[in-house]
Structure 1
Amino acid sequence: MTAAVAPDRMPVLYLSHGAPPLADDPVWPGELAALSAGMTRPTAILMVSAHWEEAPLALGATSTVPLIHDFWGFPERYYQVMYPAPGAPELAGQVRALLRAPGTPVQDVPDRGLDHGAYVPLAEMYPDADIPVLQMSLPTLDPRQLLEIGRRLAPLRDQGVLIVGSGFFTHNMRAISMDGSVWSALAEFDDWGRRALDAGDLDALLDFEHKAPAGLLAHPRSEHFAPLFVTLGAGADELDSQRTVIDGFWMGMAKRSIRIG
């Protein structure tokens, strides 16, 4: 049974974030825009992106600094994109209070801007860039540790904060396809993941590398699946409300994205 929650409690998301060309896709930007339109406007956004791994756990800029265009080989116009969202110093203080503990430091990286795992989906969801955003690093790829981090962050939801784990439901660079073809192994993993999420089977998801079909093919390295566990932790008391809000494939990758709450 879903626990009773405050009526203004924010949901929590896991987004497959795409690459800079997502903005040119005929479908995906509209799906992201519809997702944000169907939610209460957040007071702030906490992003956990696959593209920032750093330990101890780190918090990025709390003022508006330049984006990190952490990609290569794209047309110049993608490097000119800006997303000048306000910083979120109050949120940073709340995250420190929730996560800092003896032996678990939280560091600040004040010049670290948003990477494309953060700003690419946000530019479609909140194009005015007028909601404060804080990015947090992945301090580990261990699913159980990330689940616990998400659980500790969950109280932020009652303060209007949108917690977003941003990765890609499948991520194998060898499987990128310009013609839209999809490796059968990745399609099988996507279907397995959908069924595990719908069943609330945390044990299977936590051990996806061994229990999922083609787990290591879908994620030769797990950094793009890892943010899912922060999302699942932050929504742990409402897992039966989990639902897929975006699915299908893009350039051969599963773009499955979920909402809890």
Structure 2
Amino acid sequence: MSMPTIFVSHGSPTLILNDVPARGFLASLGKELPKPTAIVAVSAHWNTDVPAVSLARRPGTIHDFYGFPDALYQLRYDAPGAPVLAERVARLTGAAHDPHRGLDHGAWVPALLGWPEADIPIFQLSVQPDESPAHHIALGRKLAPLRDEGVLVMGSGSATHNLRALVRSGAASEPEPWAQAFDDWLADAVARGDEAALAGYRSQAPYAEANHPSDEHLLPLHVAYGAAGEGARGRPLHRSFTLGNLSMAAYAFG
């Protein structure tokens, strides 16, 4: 059976320290899926002009954030890299090589929660914020053969991502209608496998600009969708909100 592809919303870096539903979901991820032979992590936090893959044999844990609790900076994810597979992904996609890139929090936070044993090889593939969602769907399609080898393509971003609108007080709050409307639209488009809608979300989704002032946090979803192959549909793995308007939705495609 082919491995599904997934998209997860990784939230704030402090998600890994907080007792919220999304953390509980990510902690169950390894039980929700067959154990991968390797993980290709497509994170919203590695942005390049052209696709690039990380070939590090022992990717370091990148703490790419500032002003957070000290406990967060003590966390490490010491899984091995997969340079041979990464080189193959580079050939499939035409991606450039980065021999030193480690794992940013878009990769290591969900990986540490889902596969805490750190025994699955993992490496990253970058996104190109100056390119379209359609470009990223096409990029994902080039990864589709990996599914039959048990490789998990994991897009990691955010189903909604407007940092200026977040409720940072820590108090629980219902998402505002503009965030809920976009989140519901996305869930429907994913369930229908509507490639045209997903590629054209900027003009088709309600409140697209309010939910995504820039594209980079949704582009990993487009890669995961593309990697599931032609005609793929998605199913929800989890839906919740944190910080008021930050959707933590996650989907499996296949």
User: Which of 108, 111, 131 is 1:122 aligned to?
Assistant: 111
Aligned residue in 2 for 1:149 = 139
Q: SS of 2:125's equivalent?
A: strand
Q: State TM-score, norm by structure 1.
A: 0.91
Aligned residue in 2 for 1:3 = none
Aligned residue in 2 for 1:248 = 240
- Across the aligned residues of Structure 1 and Structure 2, the Cα RMSD in angstroms comes to 1.4
- Cα shift at 1:118: 0.4
Cα distance in 2 for partners of 1:55, 1:180 equals 38
> Is residue 22 from structure 1 mapped to residue 11 from structure 2 by the alignment?
no
Amino acid at match of 2:105: H
Aligned residue in 1 for 2:161 = 171
Q: SS of 1:98's equivalent?
A: helix
Amino acid at match of 2:123: L
Cα distance in 1 for partners of 2:59, 2:112 equals 16
Q: State TM-score, norm by structure 2.
A: 0.93
- Cα shift at 1:238: 5.2
User: Which of 71, 77, 81 is 2:71 aligned to?
Assistant: 77
User: Which of 225, 234, 237 is 1:232 aligned to?
Assistant: 225
Q: Tell whether the 8 Å contact from 2:139 to 2:226 is kept in structure 1 after alignment.
A: yes
> Is residue 162 from structure 1 mapped to residue 152 from structure 2 by the alignment?
yes
Cα distance in 2 for partners of 1:88, 1:68 equals 17
Could you report, residue by residue, the CA deviation over 1:110-137 in whole angstroms, capped at 9, with x for unpaired residues? 1211000000111110001111001011
Matches within 5 A, 1:210-221: 210-221=203-214
Q: How many residues align?
A: 248
Cα distance in 2 for partners of 1:23, 1:98 equals 33
Q: SS of 2:216's equivalent?
A: helix
* Structure 2, unaligned runs of 5 or more: none
Cα distance in 1 for partners of 2:210, 2:50 equals 29
- Cα shift at 1:62: 2.4
Q: SS of 1:81's equivalent?
A: coil
Amino acid at match of 2:143: L
Give identity over the alignment, percent. Answer: 41
- Cα shift at 1:189: 0.5
Q: Tell whether the 8 Å contact from 1:35 to 1:245 is kept in structure 2 after alignment.
A: no
Amino acid at match of 1:164: M
- Cα shift at 1:71: 0.9
**247-256 vs 22-31, which deviates more?**
22-31
Aligned residue in 1 for 2:172 = 180
> Is residue 39 from structure 1 mapped to residue 33 from structure 2 by the alignment?
yes
* Structure 1, unaligned runs of 5 or more: 1-6, 101-105
**131-140 vs 160-169, which deviates more?**
131-140
Cα distance in 1 for partners of 2:118, 2:125 equals 18
Cα distance in 1 for partners of 2:55, 2:101 equals 5
User: Which of 183, 197, 208 is 2:190 aligned to?
Assistant: 197
Amino acid at match of 1:94: R
**82-91 vs 28-37, which deviates more?**
28-37
Could you report, residue by residue, the CA deviation over 1:175-208 in whole angstroms, capped at 9, with x for unpaired residues? 2113233222111110111111122222112111
Aligned residue in 1 for 2:124 = 135
Cα distance in 2 for partners of 1:217, 1:245 equals 24
